[in-house]
Amino acid sequence: MPSDSHNNLIESLRSAWESLDAGLMEPLLADDLHYYSWWALVEMNSKEEYLSYIRERFQAYKTRGTRIIVKLGVNKNDGEYAVAIQIEEDLPYLIRVKENGGKIQEMWIQPVE
């Protein structure tokens, strides 16, 4: 069962995506964050590397006026909360996290199953 700390991190991550504000993510992330994207085959191993990447993506979305739907989701396999995102007409995906000490230690993106 997901912890309150995990659920709070997910809710804060959802808010950051909803507002396209990477600054809201900064205090949530462990310095040695490990990030992996299933689609882009992108792997990052630090908070700073991820923040640089996501700031650039968020700015591109804002500049283009990209339509993004952001919701709280639940992974069917384990019942953990996740951030559910759909960008334009693309297939939706989940952002899942593992926490350690109240910070996001691992974050990965996977298709909604």
Closest by Cα among 21, 58, 46 to 105: 46
Global pTM? 0.89
Domain count, the chain: 1
Q: Which residues pair with 29 in a beta bridge?
A: 104
Domain of 29, CATH number, reads 3.10.450.50
Q: What residue numbers bound the domain in which 10 lies?
A: 4-111
Asked if 73 and 7 count as a contact pair (C-beta separation under 8 A), the reply is no
Pairing of the two strands 42-44 and 29-37: antiparallel
Three-state secondary-structure class, residue 38: coil
Structure confidence at residue 2 (pLDDT): 59
What is the full per-residue pLDDT of the chain (113 aa) written as tens digits? 457 888 899 999 999 999 999 999 999 999 999 999 887 777 999 999 999 999 999 999 999 999 999 999 887 778 889 999 999 988 889 999 999 999 999 999 988 86
Structure confidence at residue 77 (pLDDT): 78
Structure confidence at residue 113 (pLDDT): 66
Structure confidence at residue 38 (pLDDT): 81
